[in-house]
Chain A
Amino acid sequence: MRKERVVVIGGVAAGTKAASKAKRENPDLEVIVLARDKDVSYAGCGLPYYIGSIIKDRKELVVREPEEFEREQGILVLTGREVTRIDPTGKTVRFTELNTGACHEVSYDYLILATGASPVLPPVEGITLKNIYSVRTVDDAEAIRQLVDEGAVQKAVVVGAGFIGLEVAENLTLKGITVTVVEMAPTILPGYDEEIARYIQNYLVEKGVAIRTSTRVCGFTGNSEGKVQGVKLSQDVLPAQLVVWAGGVRPNTKIAKEAGIELGPTGCIAVNEYMETNIPGIYAVGDCAENTHLLTQEPVWYPMGSTANKTGRIAGLNVAHKTKADFLPGVLGTSVIKLFELQAARTGLTEAQATQKGYAVETVLVPANDKAHYYPGYRQIITKLIAEKETGKILGAQIVGEGVVDKPIDIIVAMMSCGATVEQLARLDLAYAPPFSMAMSSTILAANVMLNKLQSKFTGMNPKDLVTALEKEEIAVIDVRTEAEFFVKAIPGALNIPFNQLTNRLDEIPRNKKIVLVCKVGKRAYLTLPTLKKLGFADVAILDGGIEAYPYTVE
C-alpha cells in the first residue's frame, strides 16, 4: 500500500514541529520538509543573543540538523528548496533547488504551510548598501556578529523598537557600541500602553541607548566601498557603520494566495482552530497563519515562537490522526522581554486597545516588590491591570521592573484564559515565602487596588492624564511624601504637604481645582483621602502608581 505523504513547506519552528509531531503520532506517514534556508529548526528568537555572544557558537542556536531528522525520525528534510507553486487540485507542490536551479514536483496527501514571515525592507535610497541587515536568519546574525567582533562598528542604528530591535540594541550596547534606536511610532514596544512604554524608554536611555521616536528613516548614505555610513532622517543624518533593520515583518503568503488559499483580514493565511485553511487537506501554522484573539474572538496576528510551536503541533496531530485531534482556541498576545536588568511582560488588551474596542475599562498601576521587602535582593515591579468596569473581567495586564515579571504575567494569563474576574484573581492561593514573593503577592495587591477602584473607594489618575491636566492647569498636585523624598524627586509644580501636616496646612490647598494626591506608590495618598474628604474636598484623585511609576519629567 502506498504510504500517505505529508509535505511541510518551511523548516524553522512551526514546520519542523508539525513534521515531527505528525511522524511521531503516525509512523506510517511519509513526511517531507521543504525549506528555503540552509538552516532548519533554529531558534530565531535567540539571534540577538548570538550577536551579543551570550550564545557562543552558531551550532547552539540550531536545535536539529537536517540529517538528524532523517536518521532519528525518518523525516526527509530538503534545504535550499524554494516552493514556487501549489496545485491543490492535483495535490502537488513545485519547487526549485536554489543551488542548481532545477525544478521538481512532489505530490502530497496533506500539505502544511509554515512559510513564516520576512522582514519588510523599504525601497529607500541606499537600502542595498553593505552592512544593513535584518535579523531573521542565522546568517544575518552571523554577519552582524562578525562585523562587530572585527571592531568595524563604533556606532550602530537599529530601526524599529519592537522586541527584536530592542534586544539587538541591548546586545550591541553591551559590546561597547553606541546605539541609536529609530522608531516611526510615538512610543517604543508595540503592545504596551504609553506610560509603560515610556518607563521602559527612560530605562534604556539611562543604560546609554539613544531613542528617537516618531522618526522616519528616509534613506542611507554610503562610502566609496559601498558600506553604509549614515542613516538619513528627516532633519539630520545619524552616523552608523552598522544598520539593523527590525522595522517589522510580513507573512509569506504569495504561494498560498496564488493557490486559492484564503487570506484573512490581517493579510495572513486564514485558519480555523484546527489550523485548517479553506482547502481540505491544507493546513497553515506559525508566523504565516492568522490567530484568533481569545478575548475579542477577532482575527489577529502575533508572530511568536510560542504560538508557532503550538500551532505546528496541532497541525501535526490533526494530520496524523485524520481527525480534529487538537485545536487552539486563541491567543492573548502574551509576551515577555528582558532589556539589561529590566523585564517587561504583557498579555491581553492594552488600555488603548480595550477602549478602542468599546469596552468601558478601569485600570490600575501598582508598584510592588517581587519578594518580601525585608529579603535582600528584592526588586520593584509595576503591575498595570486593565479590567471591564461593569463585570470586573480581566482584559489585560502589563508588568515591568527589574524583578521577576514572568511569573505574575503567567498567573494573569492563566486566569484570563478561564475568563476570570479581578475578584477571582485577588483570591488565588499563591505560593509564598520571603525569597519568592510578598505575603500579599504583587498580583493580588494589584487586584485588590482594582477592586477598591471598582467599588468606588477612590478615583485614580493615570500619569499620562496627569501630564495633560497639569498643562491645562486643571488640577492641583499635592505631594504627601516627606520633605526629603520630595526634595530628591518631584513632579514640577507639585505642592509638598507631608501627610501628617495636612490638617495644619489646609489653607494651602486650593478649593477651586481638582486635587491629585501623589506619594511614592499610592498608599499614603490613599490613606490621606478620608481626611481630605472629611474636610470637604470632594474632587480628589490619586496618581496611579505614585512617583515610582511616573515616567514623565520630574525634578
Chain B
Amino acid sequence: MAEYLINARGLQCPGPIVQLFNQSKQCAEGDVIKIEVTDPGFKRDVQAWCKKTGNELIDITEKDGVIIATIKKN
C-alpha cells in the first residue's frame, strides 16, 4: 500500500481533478492519495469524482485557503 502526495496548489484550469485522475490510474487498490489544492471548486469536484468512481474520500479539510483531500483507491 503506497501513499502519494500531489501538490496541485495554484492549479485551476483544467484543474487539480485531472492530476488526481491521472495519479489514480497508476495506483493500485488500497493506495492512498493526498492532494493539496487551492481551487475552491475542487471540494465539490472531488466528492462527485469519488462517488462516480467508487473511490473513498477518507478526509477533506480546509485551512488557510488550502484544501487537503485524502482519497483511498478502491
Which residues of A pack against B, CB within 8 Å? Answer: 369, 373-380, 402, 481-485, 487-489, 520-521, 523-524, 548
Contact = CB atoms under 8 A, between A and B. Distances in A.
Contacts of B22: 484
A482 B10 CA distance: 18
Secondary structure at chain A's binding surface: helix, strand, loop or mixed? loop
Contact of B21 (A374, A376, A487): A487
Contacts of A378: 38, 40, 65
Contacts of B10: 373-374
Given A376-B9, A378-B65, A520-B13, A402 B18 contact: no
Contacts of A377: 38, 64-65
Interface residues of B, number: 22
Complex A-B, nearest 6 residue pairs according to Cβ-Cβ distance, in ascending order: A377-B65, A376-B65, A484-B21, A374-B10, A484-B18, A376-B38
A444 B41 CA distance: 22
Given A376-B64, A380-B41, A402-B40, A483 B21 contact: yes
Interface of B: 9-10, 12-15, 17-18, 20-22, 38-41, 45, 48-49, 52, 64-66
A520 B15 contact: yes
Given A378-B40, A378-B65, A380-B40, A485 B14 contact: yes
Given A483-B21, A485-B14, A379 B9 contact: no
Given A484-B21, A485-B17, A373 B12 contact: yes
A379 B40 contact: yes
B33 to A, nearest CB: 14
Contacts of B64: 376-377
Contact of B14 (A369, A376, A380, A481): A481
30 contacts: A369-B12, A373-B12, A374-B9, A376-B9, A376-B64, A377-B64, A379-B40, A380-B41, A402-B40, A481-B14, A482-B18, A482-B21, A484-B14, A484-B17, A484-B22, A484-B49, A485-B14, A485-B18, A487-B21, A487-B49, A487-B52, A488-B17, A488-B48, A489-B45, A489-B48, A520-B15, A521-B13, A523-B13, A524-B14, A548-B41
